[in-house]
Structure 1
Amino acid sequence: MDWGPRLRRWSAEWISTSEPGELDPAVARDGWLGFAAATEDEVAAAEGRLGVRLPPSYRQFLLCTNGWRNAGGFVYRMRDTTTVGWLRDLEPFWEEWDDLDEQETEGNRFTRGLLLSEETDSGILFLDPADVDESGEWAAYSLFSWRAEPPTRFASFAALMEDLYAEFHQMRKPAGETRDAWDAEVERARLAALAGDVDAAAGVLARAEDFGRERATVLRVQILLLSGQWYEAGMLLGRLLHPSFLPDGFLTDPLFTEELLPYLFDDHLRRARQGRQSVLQSAMIGERPPIMAMVAEHEPRFARPGEGFGYGNPEFDRPVRQARAAHADDPDALWTAIRAAMPHWRPRTPEHIAPVALLADPVLAAAITPERGRELLTTPRLP
């Protein structure tokens, strides 16, 4: 791996998003989050001290920069060739985070782990020398106590750094080549989704989300809803409605008011009957005037389930309504009619890729199983 271009881009983007006085003077002077490159002798000395040969991507990293500042949002400094060492020696208290039932006689991943991080927000980055792939890369881990989650595993040090780079983009959203490249990928994924290649689109959108591209979330939530992945879709809808994430103009966009919002109100009614909190309820916790005003404005439209909204453009809405009137008690007949009407469906906005409004009507939703929803998603649709 050629670390130099990647790390220089990361440095430039970090500096571009920094507040006055936030930067280390050396970073501001040199335009570089790293340090001087380690020499082969320095890397060899570290390997001699540790008794192992370091994995390729980490070794190459040290030969580019002997340490690093600001890896992601919560790692302030990484160790260099003189300070990298075994986790059991440097921070042994982390061992209790591993599952005791999985501990091996030679020690678990914490006791044998190589600690990479030096200054963090209550977390660690480390490598596992017992988990090696065919190219000699060691598995890498990230763990932060306040996340209350198991350690996150990565295939290599390079994969760990890519994740930290994505985290930085998600938090600070710097302008530049990386952002523009992901925006182009999101647009290609949108077209792929409309062409029926939903799996390829979903994978790209999920990765673009890691880099903080809000449009990817707006698109992917529609795929998740039609696929029957309601829990994850609800999590993303909650994120979209959070003040720190809410995309500009989202609450007045027809994709939201005519597709996602009817679904959210129906979801609210269903959860209320079950005594559970809905996405809308969660969105209104605290002082959130825009959300409160939006709910107050639109709530009268949805006084009765399945009413107050259309299913899409007239050429699609008309046959669906006719089928609903004729086959309300026959989910299979309804499904046949919906599938037949699908070639006439058109998106309301450039962000609209799936007929989510169907799921807001309990009668129609009963006819759309996850398998049938996937069939709709894989049907080519004109943009």
Structure 2
Amino acid sequence: MSGTTPPTKARRRRSSGRATLQDVAQAAGVSPITVSRALRGERAVTPELVARVQEAAAQLGYVPDPAARALASSRSSQVAVLIPLLSNALFVDLLDAAQRALLAAGYQTLIGVTHYEPSEEEALLRSYLLHRPAGLIVTGFDRTDEARRLIEGSGVPCVHVMETVAASGTYSVGFSQADAGRAMTEALLARGRTQIAFAAAQLDPRTLQRSEGYRRALQAAGRYRPELEFMNPERSSLALGGELLEQVLREAPEVDAIFFNNDDLAQGALLAALRLGIKVPERLAIAGFNDLTGSEQMLPPLSTVRTPRSEIGAEAAAMLIKLMRGERVAAPQLDLGYQVLLRGSC
């Protein structure tokens, strides 16, 4: 038996029994550096070699050591993605698309939740940047001065999502929240609504940008009334949407349309209207924002603004991958637009 070759998985160099990069290189018949490049998804490696390396790694059960990779390259293969909430389907869709694209390119995702608190985002940035991530994806542009300095001083490629800004050296993927807010308000005006309220919760920067668009549309039409803005700092929910509906009609019974800053609130308002016997859209038009799951199934179907959150996640990841590889990004500010959907609630 001494002359027989032991099983491949038994040929391990570490006392832990884990397969090493050298093991994969020997099994694939290539150099260790080729294995490393193939598993990182570098374009310099041919598809045939990538397939051979991946097959060898799978047979050996090889798992890359992120700590060793970070020591070898002075930067890890991890990407930090900072989003406001995981309970919001908007950001779940964005994160899912970004993570899929990053994983396919050989990067792992570190998820940080800021809870819309700039101080929490700053703390997360301090923690993640200590580990030298390969890249960053952050939400919007509203952050502390120190957080901006941390990002700029780190030298780590960064892409902003959900908003765009024309600034040299800044990369972003999103759309104009203000333009989208204005477009929905103009659509309500075109439907003959003259007393349009804006009802909002959470009051994050993107909500305030939508309210700005609402304001501009009504000012241009000579219909703006500041008392018809109902701004609640509480977290958005279906229940709060119903409460806001009742508040608007109690304090401004002449209102003939309510533009809610998101679909959670608008869906709650539709349910409350059904319970209270308020006819939608005959007595009152109701509109939302984001076109979340369930909006089209409401009674009546909810009019809303469809936002390309999955596309934003995928495009932001693609842009970041180019930056991490040192490749040129042709369009540093990518505006993916939005779509106003007028359904039965208007």
**Does TM, scored on the shorter chain, surpass 0.5?**
no
Q: Into which bin does the TM-score normalised by the smaller protein fall?
A: under 0.3
Higher strand share: 2
Higher helix share: 1
TM-score (norm 2): 0.24
TM-score (norm 1): 0.22
Structure with more contact order per residue of length (Cα contacts < 8 Å, sep ≥ 6): 2
